[in-house]
């Protein structure tokens, strides 16, 4: 059963070694993410699991000790030992767990960017069934088309999409997350769509009266929607 969740974005620049002194505007984001992860771990779940997007067709499970690297993003920052295998989202998820002192997760779950909603829901249901008290750290960005300087340039529907996403995360609106359209998400460059729908599946596809939502961060410093939220027991 899902008893808590945290949602964080995964920009490489959140890591100080990657950003250097070039991204002080992300200090607040980093602090919000660490706060969300610490509050997630404080619920003492039977299983804490990270969930994050990966490439098309790349849904798979990694063990708790799986390693990741930020070398492709310009810094020799590693999490774990051995050959780096984690995608960016899960690499940063493990980095946040380390920074928050939350320990290793039960597993790292990569969900393909093109996974259909039904597959995401099934994965969420499976993860929620892995213990009596399951917590998820869900890594996902909002739209990357919010401004003319965004990676995907400005899209007229991007701002409204991210506003609705923020409301859903703040309000524990599971139905809204489950209803996200993969085609629209792809059009708006929403990297977190599949991971958000895994969260919806874990919550049971309906409202979760035992959880209260809180939005800790909602900004787009580089034209990409970065949202930090937590769902904790009331």
Domain extents in the chain: 2-233
Among 112, 127, 90, 109, CA closest to 201: 127
pLDDT at 105: 95
pTM: 0.96
Instruction: Give me the count of residues in the chain.
Output: 234
Q: In this predicted model, what pLDDT tens digit does every residue of 137-154 receive, in sequence order?
A: 999 999 999 999 999 999
Among 205, 204, 194, 199, CA closest to 117: 194
* Residue 184 in this model has a pLDDT that exceeds 80: yes
CA–CA separation, 233 vs 83, rounded Å? Answer: 37
Q: Give the burial string for 89-114 (b: 16+ CB within 10 Å, else e).
A: bbbbbbbbbebbebebbbbbbbbbbb
Angle, CA 182 vertex, CA 203 and CA 4 arms, to 5°: 20
Q: How confident is the model at residue 209 (pLDDT cuts 50, 70, 90)?
A: confident
Among 201, 227, 20, 26, CA closest to 118: 201
Mean pLDDT, the chain, rounded, equals 95
The CATH classification of domain 2-233, taken from the options 3.40.50.2300, 3.40.50.300, 3.60.15.10, 3.40.830.10? 3.40.830.10
* Residue 57 in this model has a pLDDT that exceeds 90: yes
Q: How confident is the model at residue 21 (pLDDT cuts 50, 70, 90)?
A: low
């Amino acid at each position: 059963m899902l008893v808590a969740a945290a949602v964080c974005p995964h920009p490489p620049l959140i890591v100080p070694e990657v950003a250097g002194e070039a991204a002080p505007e992300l200090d607040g984001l980093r602090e919000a993410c660490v706060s969300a992860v610490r509050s997630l771990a404080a619920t003492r779940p039977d299983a804490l699991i990270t969930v994050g997007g990966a490439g098309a067709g790349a849904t798979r499970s990694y063990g708790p000790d799986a390693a990741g690297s930020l070398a492709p993003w310009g810094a020799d920052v590693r999490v774990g030992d051995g050959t780096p295998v984690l995608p960016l989202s899960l690499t940063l998820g493990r980095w946040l767990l380390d920074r928050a002192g939350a320990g290793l997760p039960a597993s790292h779950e990569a969900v393909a960017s093109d996974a259909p909603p039904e597959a995401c829901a099934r994965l969420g249901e499976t993860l929620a069934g892995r213990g009596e008290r399951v917590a998820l750290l869900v890594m996902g960005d909002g739209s990357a088309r919010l401004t003319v300087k965004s990676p995907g340039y400005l899209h007229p529907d991007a701002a409204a999409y991210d506003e609705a996403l923020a409301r859903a995360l703040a309000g524990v609106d599971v139905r809204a997350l489950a209803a996200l359209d993969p085609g629209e998400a792809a059009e708006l460059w929403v990297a977190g769509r599949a991971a958000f729908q895994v969260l919806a599946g874990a919550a049971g596809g309906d409202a979760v009266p035992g959880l209260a939502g809180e939005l800790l961060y909602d900004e787009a410093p580089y034209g990409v929607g970065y949202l930090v939220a937590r769902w904790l027991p009331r």
